[in-house]
Amino acid sequence: MADAHAAASPVPVDRVPWPTVFTYGVPAVGAGYMYLLIGLYVMKFSTDVLLISPLVMGLIFSASRVWDAVSDPLVGYLSDRTRSRFGRRRTWMAASILPISATFVMIFAPPTGLTGRSPSSASTR
């Protein structure tokens, strides 16, 4: 009976001090601002320069959030099970360099045919 009671007793938990949690969380504020500013600039650039409807841009942003909801757990699952001499995360970070770089170029340097203005009005600007 004493053994059953001992097995049910709570396990002591080492708590992380709040200054440590705070110092790990502070960089997330800067990253959040960066993503917010990039998102706002993409929206303004797409609606003002490319003349894409705000409704369409809203749908694109919504679709990206739905994609995140599906892909983030999947990538986390794959990353957790990756075995590499470089570690679980570094392999994925290295593999993402080229696709992310290409994506930024495609977002901010669209083909001239996608601008909402005629080529003659763009050259007089």
* Mean pLDDT across the chain: 84
The reply to whether the predicted model has a pTM over 0.75 is no
- Under 8 Å between Cβ of 17 and 25: no
Residue with more model confidence, 55 or 4: 55
